[in-house]
Amino acid sequence: MNKLMAFWKESPHALRYAGLFFLLALLLVSTGWVLVNHGNKTVVVLDEGRSLSVKTRALRVQDLLVEQGISIEPEDQIHPPLDHPLHSGMVITIHRAFPVQIIVDGQVKKIKSTPRPVSEVLQMAGVELGSLDQVSPSLEEQVAPGVPIRVIRVREQEEKLEKKIPFEVVRKPEANMEKGMTRTVQRGQPGIQEETYKVIYHDGQEVKRELIRTRIVREPVAEILAYGTLELASRGGDNFRFDRSMWVTATAYSHSAGSITATGTYARRGTIAVDPRVIPLGTRLYVEGYGYGVAEDTGGAIKGDKIDVFFETDAEAYRWGVRRVKVYILE
């Protein structure tokens, strides 16, 4: 190095200028090579299926797009990125964003996206998913133009319901009670069964209900009903057999209400009006406080457990009035 410096100092001025000129020429040649190389870059742009081959002096991807008048939306995808340096033979790919509808929570959200997994699009739209939520198309599928994303909110919960258990009716005969009469020995009480269901809701609407367990909260209590079996009665020294007995509300009527009965007979003492659905016409009866009679007549007000006994005079009918009496259905 010392020898080179000494040579430079001792060299004539012409020689030193020649060396400087050589260095300058070398610098200009290198710079020109660089400029020529950059000016000759050939780049291919793929824009949604359209292919464009260009020669450019641009240094970066963004510069090329500006040079070619190619606009980019914020949602579009470009590869390589905008700040990537250009080199000859490079392929620049542009994926244009398209509208995507997301149907969720009773609303329609709109977003623009390029083809990417549904999961990413939902994240971009700020849609959070529960562990049971259902998504169509699936989270792994790519979104496509014109295909909406549907999110179904799925909720699963347990619900408990109480259900009555019917009680059993146990009938027991009682020899000292007249046939047709009954007596409640023990009142029945329904039991309670608790049923637990797994219920699934889609967007708040029940779609499935499954019984998963049951539990008896209270056992039912049987009702015990005593019924009479006695078939023989004695009234005023007169013994008679009967098929059954029953309590009725008895009114009275006379000739002023009509004399011809529903069966075509002439009304007389012993004629009794009944509801044929309860006591068939032609049935022989014994009415306490009245005596023997036959079911021969009907009446508009005689329904259910009501009867109407006939008297020859209005005075007798008035004296009878309305009574609760026992009636024996004779054999």
Which of 58-72, 183-197, 277-291 shows the lowest mean pLDDT across its residues?
Answer: 58-72
- Give the CATH number of the domain where residue 320 resides: 2.40.40.10
Q: Are residues 214 and 284 in the same domain?
A: no
Chain-centre distance of CA 78, in angstroms?
46
DSSP 140: T
Determine the Cα–Cα distance for residues 257 and 36; give it in Å rounded to an integer. 134
Residue 268 predicted with pLDDT over 70: yes
- Top-confidence range, 68-82, 218-232, 257-271: 218-232
Structural domain containing residue 132: 98-152
CB atoms within 10 A of CB 71: 7
pTM above 0.75, yes or no: no
Q: Are 241 and 323 contained in the same domain?
A: yes
Q: Give the residue from 277, 293, 290, 295 showing the smallest Cα distance to 317.
A: 290
pLDDT at 32 over 90: no
Percentage of the chain beyond pLDDT 90 is 79
Q: How many domains does the chain have?
A: 5
pLDDT at 145: 92
- Do 111 and 21 share a domain, yes or no? no
- What's the pLDDT at 33? 39
Q: What is the CATH number of the domain that holds 198?
A: 2.20.230.10
> Do residues 160 and 208 both lie within one domain?
yes
Please say if the pLDDT value at position 28 is more than 50: no
Whether 130 has a pLDDT exceeding 70, the answer reads yes
Query: Both tokens of residue 128?
Result: 């959070």
Amino acid 8: pLDDT: 42
Contact 326, 300 (CB under 8 A): no
Q: List, for residues 140-167, the tens digit of each pLDDT value.
A: 999 999 999 999 999 999 999 999 999 9
Domain identity same for 192 and 103? no
| Residues 78 and 93 sit within 8 Å (Cβ to Cβ) | yes
